Structure 1
Amino acid sequence: MANSALELIGLILTLIGLIGTAASTGMPMWRVTAFIGENIIVFETRYEGLWMNCYRQADIRMQCKVYDSLLALPQDLQAARGLMCCALALGGLGLLISLVGLQCTSCIENNDEAKRIVLLIAGVMVICACICVLIPVSWTGHVIIREFYNPLLLDAQRRELGEALYIGWVAAAFLFVGGCMFVCFNLQSAKDTDSQRYLYSKPSSYMAYPPQPLQPLQPQPMVLLPQPQPQLQPQPMLSRQPSNNYSYNSRYPSVRSGVAYL
């Protein structure tokens, strides 16, 4: 019962992390305009995301434009696209596979070992999805911070961390916790099962006897067993006396009949 509750908690955490990953992938708020120094134009905000860049004017109206070319994007955004898509694919497959291996589902019946293996595979896939989310979010955040303190850039060119990055970090944390719950608890239950498999209970009448010295073997006299004699089969006896049995029919006269005729 406890394992089923923990599996459901891991499933819910994985689902929340997957939703956060999808939101972070689609949001354009990865890079936000920094209003510092001489940049006093505060009624216009620029957002840069993985798929588009947007402008908001006076918190009323937002206009977005999809990127015309993938190769024109920075390297961090190009890598972030592929990694975030891989994270969504791995997280979705891990979530579906975990539904098969839950104790409260009947997809695999009367086979706890198979369910444990399925949940381990799902947990590994969810952890891989967490890594795929964490790499692009952290890489983009590192680039933004490095450019912010670059003295060669103008104040209008500096950017700040957007909301999508924070959502990505939180989603990676949820995915990591959910995947670890799938993996750790099933590994622990597998160890408990293996340890219980080799346990045995001693009977109540069990008594320990001291070791006895080995006795030398005494030579035993040889006894000859009588062997049965083979029974001889009676052989036919040869006789010199002529036989009087002429009961067979033949087309040719025999020698004896010829002698008798003479």
Structure 2
Amino acid sequence: MASTGLQLMGLALAMLGWVCGVLVCAAPLWRVSAFMGGQLVIAQVLWEGLWMNCLSQSTGHIQCKTYDSTLALPPSAQAARGLTVLSLLLCLLALMLGVAGAKCTHCMGDGNQASKARTGRIAGVLFFVAGLAFLIPICWTAHAIIRDFYDPNVAAPLKRELGPALYLGWGACVMLLVGGALLHIGSSPPGGKTQPVFGGAAKDNPRSGAAGEVKPQDKSFV
């Protein structure tokens, strides 16, 4: 029962991480305009994401536009797109395998527990790998933003700050990594190693006696 609880908890965490990852991938809030020099009145705020950028005005009007060409993007943005999409696809595959290999489902039948355990462990590994793949573009983008922010050669209008999507992305990575680990641990194969039984072993084994005790031998005299 404990392993089933770990399995369900890991599957739920990984599913929540996948949903947050989809939101992070679609949100244009990876980079936010940085305002420096003591500006108190902010007329426009620029948001940048993987697929589009948006311009938010102080009046509440927001204009969004997708990027005209994928090949015109820098290589870092293209790599971030590929890793993010690959991570979400791995999560989708791991989710299907995790549901099929769960001990509380009957997708693979009740008599094939070894295959169900193997499928659950594979799903846990896929969730863990997806979390690592999703963590790379998040940390890569954050490093580039911080590096350009403190670079004196970069003009002030080109400096950016960490967007809310990056913080949500870190949370999604943690949920994917922890959920995958719990799912892998909870999907233990049936028929584990038997634990030694103390106290009752001497009763079951007629040959064993108490420590230091010598059974008297029956001698026959003629």
TM class by smaller structure: 0.7 to 0.9
Letter in 2 for 1:195: K
Higher RCO (C-alpha 8 Å, min separation 6): 2
What SS does the corresponding residue of 1:42 show, helix, strand or coil? coil
Change (3 A) 1:125 1:204: closer
Q: Deviations over 1:62-120 (max 9, x none)?
A: 10111011122222211110011001100011011100111111112122211110111
Q: Hey, what's the Cα distance between the residues in 2 that align with 1:137 and 1:58?
A: 28
Equivalence for 1:13: 13
Equivalence for 1:64: 64
Q: Hey, what's the Cα distance between the residues in 2 that align with 1:195 and 1:71?
A: 55
Equivalence for 2:219: none
Change (3 A) 1:39 1:68: farther
Which has the higher Rg, Structure 1 or Structure 2?
1
Change (3 A) 1:154 1:104: same
Equivalence for 2:24: 24
Equivalence for 1:220: none
Change (3 A) 1:89 1:205: closer
Equivalence for 1:229: none
Change (3 A) 1:56 1:91: same
Letter in 1 for 2:206: Y
TM-score between the two structures when normalised by the length of structure 1: 0.73
Change (3 A) 1:203 1:164: same
Whether the aligned pair in 1 keeps the contact of 2:8 and 2:183 (CA below 8 Å) is no
Equivalence for 1:230: none
Letter in 2 for 1:207: R
Change (3 A) 1:196 1:72: same
RMSD, aligned CA: 2.4
Whether the aligned pair in 1 keeps the contact of 2:9 and 2:183 (CA below 8 Å) is no
TM-score between the two structures when normalised by the length of structure 2: 0.85
Whether the aligned pair in 1 keeps the contact of 2:43 and 2:58 (CA below 8 Å) is yes
Q: Hey, what's the Cα distance between the residues in 2 that align with 1:205 and 1:181?
A: 39
- The within-5 A match list for 1:157-168 is 157-168=158-169
Whether the aligned pair in 2 keeps the contact of 1:29 and 1:49 (CA below 8 Å) is yes
Equivalence for 2:96: 96
- Note the residue ranges of structure 1 that are not aligned, 5 or more in a row: 211-262
- The within-5 A match list for 1:39-54 is 42-54=42-54
- The within-5 A match list for 1:103-252 is 103-108=103-108, 109-186=110-187, 189-190=188-189, 193-196=191-194, 204=204, 206-207=206-207
Change (3 A) 1:14 1:166: same
What SS does the corresponding residue of 1:56 show, helix, strand or coil? strand
Alignment size in residue pairs: 207
Q: Hey, what's the Cα distance between the residues in 2 that align with 1:178 and 1:59?
A: 42
Q: Hey, what's the Cα distance between the residues in 2 that align with 1:59 and 1:177?
A: 42
Q: Deviations over 1:124-170 (max 9, x none)?
A: 11011101110000000000000001101111110001111111110
Q: Deviations over 1:166-209 (max 9, x none)?
A: 111100000001000011233xx44x83422999x676462259
Whether the aligned pair in 2 keeps the contact of 1:123 and 1:180 (CA below 8 Å) is yes
